[in-house]
Amino acid sequence: MILEVAVIVLGLLWVGTLAMFLAYTRKQRELAALQAKGDALRDQRIKDLAKRVDDYQNGNVRMGEDLHELRAVVGPLPDKLAQLEQRDPSSLSFAQAARLVGMGASVDELTQSCGLTQAEAELMSKLHKS
């Protein structure tokens, strides 16, 4: 009788252990599935961030290229400004006279600053006053 009870107890222990093992493996599978889902989300986030970094770098490269173009345009400006400052005021062009008229210069001011004749100054004043 003790042997039968021992076999039954061992059988129950084996069934209980098997049930606990199956529950443990099921829980491990669930955890693995959750981890895989989290890994997929993390990988997608990394891809999105990598794309954003690439876009940022491309923008910086384009901005650098634009800055080089601006340097090429702006670089010679100090020399040109120096040349303009050294120019004889009597050699001002009609375009500059037109700008002066636009700023409200009178006929006398045009004749003095631009070296225009009275008739030229009056013509410039009439053409560009409106």
List pLDDT tens digits, range 52-72. 999 999 999 999 999 999 999
Q: What pLDDT is stored for residue 8 in this prediction?
A: 95
98-125 mean pLDDT: 83
Its pTM stands at 0.46
Task: Please report the DSSP string for the chain in residue order.
Answer: -HHHHHHHHHHHHHHHHHHHHHHHHHHHHHHHHHHHHHHHHHHHHHHHHHHHHHHHHHHHHHHHHHHHHHHHHHTTHHHHHHHHHHS-GGG--HHHHHHHHHTT--HHHHHHHH---HHHHHHHHHHH--
- Give domain limits for the chain: 1-86, 88-130
First to last CA, the chain: 126
